[in-house]
């Protein structure tokens, strides 16, 4: 599977400066050849994740507090249209795309684990795996992440 993970500042820069402010992020990459986009979003000190699945023409919003952010879809569709026009000199066809605020997902029970949830959502989506974790797994995931950072490799490699 091919994946493009946008930088953590991408969405904030897109919102504050539009396409011109973010087009450099994909200067060397044809993101439309990727199957999945991972777009982390930081809003009001809370991390969420948007996934764009080109195979299924699906955009999903993952929020471990189950909040909604309706504007995210219009913002991303506008970006996709601008990026497609800029890179391919064609209009992006949005017919057939669906959007979901994911509700049947693992949720956090505290105010500090949203970043870990976003990382795990991204991992599971990139493996096309069913979410099988919950709040109780977060301490273990934190330890795994520390190990991976210190070892500079993933545990399952």
Strand pairing partners for 100?
60
Here the CATH number for the domain that contains residue 130 is 3.40.395.10
157 in a structural domain: no
81: DSSP letter: H
156 in a structural domain: no
> Which residues are catalytically annotated?
46, 63, 114
Q: What's the total number of domains in the chain?
A: 1
Phi and psi at residue 85, to the nearest 5°: -65, -45
Reported residue count of the chain is 157
9 in a structural domain: yes
DSSP characters over 24-78: GGGTT--GGG-SEEEEEEEETTEEEEEEEETTTTEEEEE-TT----THHHHHHHH
Q: What is the pTM of this model?
A: 0.94
Sorted by sequence, the CB contacts under 8 Å of residue 89 that are 6+ apart come out as none
138 in a structural domain: yes
Flag residues of the chain having pLDDT under 50. Answer: none
Tens digit of pLDDT for each residue in 91-137? Answer: 999 899 999 999 999 999 999 999 999 999 999 999 999 999 999 99
What pLDDT was estimated at residue 156? 78
Q: Which residues of 70-89 are buried (b: 16+ CB within 10 A; e: fewer)?
A: eebbebbbebbebbbeeeee
Domain that holds residue 24: 3-151
């Amino acid at each position: 599977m091919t994946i493009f993970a946008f930088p953590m500042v991408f969405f904030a820069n897109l919102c504050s400066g539009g396409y011109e402010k973010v087009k450099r992020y994909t200067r060397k990459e044809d993101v439309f050849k990727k199957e999945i986009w991972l777009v982390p979003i930081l809003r009001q000190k809370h991390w969420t994740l948007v996934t764009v699945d080109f195979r299924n023409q699906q955009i999903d919003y993952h929020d471990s507090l189950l909040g909604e952010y309706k504007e995210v879809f219009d913002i991303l569709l506008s970006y996709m249209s601008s990026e497609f026009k800029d890179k391919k000199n064609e209009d992006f066809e949005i017919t057939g795309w669906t959007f979901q605020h994911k509700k049947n997902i693992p949720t956090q029970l505290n105010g500090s684990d949203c970043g870990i949830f976003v990382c795990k959502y991204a991992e599971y989506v990139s493996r096309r795996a069913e979410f099988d974790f919950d709040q109780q797994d977060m301490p273990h995931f934190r330890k795994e992440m520390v190990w991976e950072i210190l070892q500079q490799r993933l545990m399952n490699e």
